[in-house]
Amino acid sequence: MARGEFDVAALAAGVAAGDRRALARAITLVESGRADHRAQALDLLARLQVPDSPAAGRQALRLGLSGTPGVGKSTFIESFGLMLTGQGKRVAVLAVDPSSARSGGSILGDKTRMDRLSRDPAAFIRPSPSQAQMGGVARRSREAVALCEAAGFDLVLIETVGVGQSETVVAELCDLFLLLLAPAGGDELQGVKRGIMEMADLILVNKADGDLKPAALRTMADYAGALRLLRRRPQDPEGFPKALCVSALETSGLTPAWDEMQALALWRRETGHWTARRAAQARHWFEEEVRQGLLAALTRDPARARMEALGQAVTEGRLTPEAAAADLLRSLT
């Protein structure tokens, strides 16, 4: 098979068998911008039956993880991931990195990160796609998550840097959302936006070790207080969302954090919130796909040419912006 070509049947078989190389190739296929690859990607996803229906095979726990650079995300993922693979679980790590859209490189793609986990045969680590559009990155990340799930991973960790927009995307990809924070210097809450707090299921204050421990405990208490002031969400049992302390470096607090995640996941499964969330996410991504498809159509003829002509008419005052827009939209439907 020539470079850049994909044997979809073989890929599907490889992914279903949990083969990591096949999974990596499959993700490359879904990330490709080529139209023929897109068709193959859809074929692959269909063969693997990865829609979000509860009937679709076994489901991984999809964990979103966000935090600003330096807070300890890679250290946490390595420690947490190794703990889970040590318990016989298979762990996949994906990154959603909006900054790659701008820089063309990926801050989450650094090869030296998660060195031990990346050598663990029960783990799969995929750096974020580079040089892709933000909308595209998000949509393809969703397919990458589904592929990891189809490959039999028990846990799919979706990591992002905390820059607002990317959290919203990750929240639409995961079952549980973790926010990683560092101990605050003073006794004020860090500038975490309310919206992000509201998305979090667990706030983990990292670096609760050595000299930083008292500050970590104080920060945890502050956030626990702030969380109690938020409106109780229907998808939460009593006491959630919670704030906990961990030390990724010393691997302490990881077991209690995992216990809380499992307790919350179990509660949501039993009460139907799990399925409802996945269903709502599937709908979100359907609408997003349509939106992106329409935007892409506008960059191609005949819509592009029509847009240009109508734009000219608006500039020259022959048409109002509203009438021209209505005209264009009619031509699309």
The residues that touch ligand GDP, with contacts defined as CB under 6 A, are 67, 69-75, 206-207, 209-210, 212, 247-249
- DSSP one-letter code for 124: E
Beta bridge partners of 159: 65, 95
User: Least CB distance from residue 25 to ligand GDP, whole Å?
Assistant: 27
- DSSP one-letter code for 9: H
Q: How many CB atoms lie within 10 A of CB 249?
A: 17
User: Least CB distance from residue 139 to ligand GDP, whole Å?
Assistant: 24
Residue 128 vs 281, nearer CB to ligand GDP: 128
Residue 26 vs 245, nearer CB to ligand GDP: 245
C-alpha–C-alpha distance, residues 52 and 188, integer Å: 41
Residue 53 vs 255, nearer CB to ligand GDP: 255
User: Least CB distance from residue 208 to ligand GDP, whole Å?
Assistant: 7
Residue 210 vs 302, nearer CB to ligand GDP: 210
- What the block records as the tokens of 257 is 């954090």
Residue 174 vs 324, nearer CB to ligand GDP: 174
N residues, the chain: 333
User: Least CB distance from residue 200 to ligand GDP, whole Å?
Assistant: 16
Residue 64 vs 72, nearer CB to ligand GDP: 72
Quote the radius of gyration of the chain (alpha carbons, Å). 22
Helix (H, G, I), strand (E, B) or coil at 67: strand
C-alpha–C-alpha distance, residues 171 and 196, integer Å: 10
Please give the sequence-ordered ranges of beta strands (E in DSSP) within 28-122, or none if there are none.
Answer: 61-67, 91-96
User: Least CB distance from residue 188 to ligand GDP, whole Å?
Assistant: 21
Dihedral sign for Cα atoms in the order 215, 217, 220, 226: negative
User: Least CB distance from residue 320 to ligand GDP, whole Å?
Assistant: 50
Residue 14 vs 64, nearer CB to ligand GDP: 64
Mark 15-35 as b/e (b = at least 16 C-beta within 10 Å).
bbeeebebbbbbbbbbbbeee
C-alpha–C-alpha distance, residues 214 and 217, integer Å: 5
> Phi then psi for 67, rounded to 5 degrees?
180, 155
User: Least CB distance from residue 226 to ligand GDP, whole Å?
Assistant: 22
Residue 157 vs 324, nearer CB to ligand GDP: 157
Helix (H, G, I), strand (E, B) or coil at 302: coil
User: Least CB distance from residue 271 to ligand GDP, whole Å?
Assistant: 33
